[in-house]
Chains A and B, each alone.
Chain A
Amino acid sequence: MLGQLIASGIVVGGIYTLMALGMTVLFRSTTVVNFCHGEFFMVGAFAVLLTQSKLGWLMGASIVFALVLMYAIGALIERGLLRPLQNAPHISLTMMTVALSYLLKGLSRFFYGREVVPLPPILAGDPIEFFDIVLAPQDVLIVLFSLFVVLVAYWFFNYTRSGKVIQAASQTPRGAALVGINVPRLRNIMWGVGAMLGAMAGILIAPTTLVYPDMGGHVLIRAFAAMTLGGFGSLPGAVIGSMSLGVIENLLGGYVSSALVEIAAYLVIIAVLIVRPQGIMGEWRQGRG
């Protein structure tokens, strides 16, 4: 029981990790908390669903298409809607992401209606048993993929030149610009990559949660909770927070009451912000916002 709960917690945590990593990347590149990340998640899943069911594409082709599309959407949003507001009060940027979130939601509702449909899993097949833990192949794929993304991100930010350049650009944009780093271009790329990560989370989880226009809000709050728990803006924090949140949710649901699964994230947010606002890994910066 305990092993199974922790294992399913890690699977859910993998999805939260993809979301939280994407949001952290965006937060560090533009210092904006992206309230439309849940919609990247939703649009990604929709892109795969529509190309498969309406156009009959293969799974691989539709996933590649969805990721390219999301990169383009992310980069376009940064270039067209956020960069012009770069010198406006900071709150305007946040409002812009809130507005975008509702725009994407409204567009998908308008064109797609109120149907709720499942997406076929990427890996179908019999459940895999491991001692007394049973996982679907798709769950294993989720864990492996999020692990892969975490390792790539770790390697990229710590061991490559481009990763260090991006770190520099997010720490002091002005200083980075002075030594010849093209900060706006980097931000543009980061938005594309962040949107892709969000979409990937959506594509991976859609077979279990179904695809519908409001699917993003639920996971957005959980990614917030994970980032808050791990420390806002910290990459390792996002991973640790997401995994812990996934496990906490499952343990509460398994041992206390299944009604608590829905609110575990809210309770975590409130508890962390009251007890230790900087989270597990974060450094506390007064007056951010």
Chain B
Amino acid sequence: MADHSTARRSLAVLLLVVLLLLPLVLNNYHQFVVNTMLVYCLIAIGFNIVIGYLGQLAFANAAFFGIGAYATGLSMVHLGLPYLPAALVGTLAGGLAGGIVGLPALRVKGYYLAIITLALGELMRWVYVHADRVTFGPGGFKVPDIVFWGYTLADRQKYYLFLALVILATASTSLLLRSRFGRAFVAIRNNEVAAASLGIAVNRSKVVAFITSGLIVGLAGAMYAALNGRVSPDTFGLSQMLMHFAIVVIGGLGNLMGSIIGALLLTAAPELLRNFPGLEEIVFSLMLILVLFFIPKGLGGLVCDHFPSLRERLYREGKPHA
């Protein structure tokens, strides 16, 4: 056990050093792609809480993402907030949206939940288009530059800001998942009735999971607004939802490391395929089909099978460690 954790720790330090030095070797375009990867890492982690750990088919993730981006951008435009407070507004708005989606999840599940959450996502897009006095309608709006103490951040500086936010959010999610709540999520996923009979507050745990998911994806939305500089309704439609879904399934349901692997892989892919209309969809769906057939645990699960020490504690099987 001890050498496992030392190995983990030195690996983590190594990874951190590489991540901190990364901008030195990247050109502007690659820097932008890497920043996008960071945004999608958070999206995937947030989505995985609900679909992977809690096991609820809720497809409102693109809506949380959009709400976070819109709340951040709009509070900068209309209220003149600086970026960090605006990002906080976006994160909280995402959390609120998560709580609201969590409520029907107490009443309906399975396909019904999938459909109601898809409907909510499309409803939000309609609101962005039609509430044009506030949201600037179908064309979207430009997000003001991100300024800290009179200094405008370029992509390279945004990278460090995003990296800090991603590490913070990933670490707190990982802690949450190892806590009482995380164990409750998995218990509910495996058998809701059995979980309730063991004294797990099913409804409260579900709402907590949805709020956490909303907060994290809302933060991703806030980062997206800063990264892209423009927020428009078309970004948050069904193809955005496919992207989230593909990342989480290909990475592995209920596997945080898998989500990160999936996010890195699937954010890089469209950059290579962008000149061919439709090819991105074809490649994503073929990858999904292959994963469903051959590696149901996803890429993250595959890695964990080969390196048991990376397996999350909740899922670590075998002998109890002495």
User: Is the A/B pair a real complex?
Assistant: yes
Q: Which A residues are closer than 8 A to B by beta carbons?
A: 33, 81, 84-85, 88-89, 91-92, 94-96, 98-103, 105-111, 113-114, 213, 217, 221, 224-225, 228, 232, 259, 262-263, 265-267, 269-270, 273-274, 277, 287-289
A-B contact pairs, 19 of them (CB 8 A): A33-B114, A88-B296, A91-B57, A98-B242, A98-B288, A101-B285, A102-B281, A103-B282, A103-B289, A105-B278, A106-B285, A109-B278, A109-B281, A110-B282, A224-B118, A274-B107, A277-B108, A289-B111, A289-B112
Known: A99-B285, A106-B278, A274-B104. A217 touches B112 (CB 8 A): no
Q: Are A102 and B284 in contact, CB atoms less than 8 angstroms apart?
A: yes
Q: Are A81 and B289 in contact, CB atoms less than 8 angstroms apart?
A: yes
| Cβ-based interface call for B113 (8 A) | yes
For A100, the chain B residues whose CB sits under 8 A away are: 285, 289
| Cβ-based interface call for B312 (8 A) | no
For A89, the chain B residues whose CB sits under 8 A away are: 296
Report whether over half of chain B's contact residues are helix, strand or loop; otherwise say mixed. Answer: helix
| Cβ-based interface call for B314 (8 A) | no
Known: A110-B278, A265-B119. A102 touches B242 (CB 8 A): yes
Q: Are B110 and A102 in contact, CB atoms less than 8 angstroms apart?
A: no
Q: Are B276 and A92 in contact, CB atoms less than 8 angstroms apart?
A: no
Q: Are B242 and A273 in contact, CB atoms less than 8 angstroms apart?
A: no
- Tell me which of A109, A259, A289 contacts B110 (CB under 8 A): A289
For B281, the chain A residues whose CB sits under 8 A away are: 102-103, 105-106, 109
Q: Are B289 and A94 in contact, CB atoms less than 8 angstroms apart?
A: no
- Tell me which of A95, A110, A266 contacts B288 (CB under 8 A): A95
| Cβ-based interface call for B33 (8 A) | no
Q: Are B104 and A266 in contact, CB atoms less than 8 angstroms apart?
A: no
B residues 283-313 in Cβ contact with A at 8 Å: 283-286, 288-289, 292-293, 296
Q: Are A113 and B107 in contact, CB atoms less than 8 angstroms apart?
A: no
Of all chain A residues, which has the CB nearest B249? A95
The distance in angstroms between the C-alpha atoms of A85 and B289, with both chains bound, is 11
The distance in angstroms between the C-alpha atoms of A114 and B112, with both chains bound, is 33
For B145, the chain A residues whose CB sits under 8 A away are: none
Known: A105-B281, A106-B278. A232 touches B112 (CB 8 A): yes
For A114, the chain B residues whose CB sits under 8 A away are: 277
Binary contact track B132-173/A, C-beta < 8 Å → 1, others 0? 000000000000000000000000000000000000000000
CB of B196, distance to nearest CB on chain A (Å) = 12
- Tell me which of B112, B118, B282 contacts A221 (CB under 8 A): B118
Known: A103-B282, A217-B238, A273-B107. A266 touches B112 (CB 8 A): no
Which of B38-46, B122-130, B224-232, B256-264 makes up part of the contact surface? B122-130
B residues 60-111 in Cβ contact with A at 8 Å: 104, 107-111
For B280, the chain A residues whose CB sits under 8 A away are: 106
Q: Are A288 and B111 in contact, CB atoms less than 8 angstroms apart?
A: yes
For A287, the chain B residues whose CB sits under 8 A away are: 109-110, 192
Interface-central residue, B277, B286, B296, by most chain A CB under 10 Å = B277
CB of A77, distance to nearest CB on chain B (Å) = 11
Q: Are A262 and B57 in contact, CB atoms less than 8 angstroms apart?
A: no
Of all chain A residues, which has the CB nearest B51? A91
Q: A95-B292, A287-B192 are in contact. List 8 more A-B contacts (CB 8 A).
A: A84-B293, A89-B296, A94-B111, A103-B289, A106-B283, A108-B278, A109-B278, A270-B123
For B104, the chain A residues whose CB sits under 8 A away are: 270, 273-274
Interface-central residue, B113, B242, B285, by most chain A CB under 10 Å = B285
Q: Are B111 and A33 in contact, CB atoms less than 8 angstroms apart?
A: yes
Q: Are A266 and B277 in contact, CB atoms less than 8 angstroms apart?
A: no
| Cβ-based interface call for B12 (8 A) | no
Q: Are A92 and B296 in contact, CB atoms less than 8 angstroms apart?
A: yes
Q: Are B293 and A289 in contact, CB atoms less than 8 angstroms apart?
A: no
Of all chain B residues, which has the CB nearest A113? B277
Known: A81-B289, A273-B112. A289 touches B57 (CB 8 A): yes
The distance in angstroms between the C-alpha atoms of A274 and B245, with both chains bound, is 25
Binary contact track B236-257/A, C-beta < 8 Å → 1, others 0? 0010001001000100000000
Of all chain B residues, which has the CB nearest A111? B278
The distance in angstroms between the C-alpha atoms of A273 and B105, with both chains bound, is 10
The distance in angstroms between the C-alpha atoms of A89 and B110, with both chains bound, is 13
Q: Are A106 and B279 in contact, CB atoms less than 8 angstroms apart?
A: yes
Q: Are B292 and A109 in contact, CB atoms less than 8 angstroms apart?
A: no
CB of A280, distance to nearest CB on chain B (Å) = 15
The distance in angstroms between the C-alpha atoms of A91 and B109, with both chains bound, is 12
Q: Are B114 and A94 in contact, CB atoms less than 8 angstroms apart?
A: yes
Q: Are A221 and B122 in contact, CB atoms less than 8 angstroms apart?
A: yes
Of all chain A residues, which has the CB nearest B293? A84
| Cβ-based interface call for B176 (8 A) | no
For B26, the chain A residues whose CB sits under 8 A away are: none
Known: A102-B242, A221-B122. A85 touches B292 (CB 8 A): yes
| Cβ-based interface call for B268 (8 A) | no
CB of B163, distance to nearest CB on chain A (Å) = 31
For B118, the chain A residues whose CB sits under 8 A away are: 221, 224
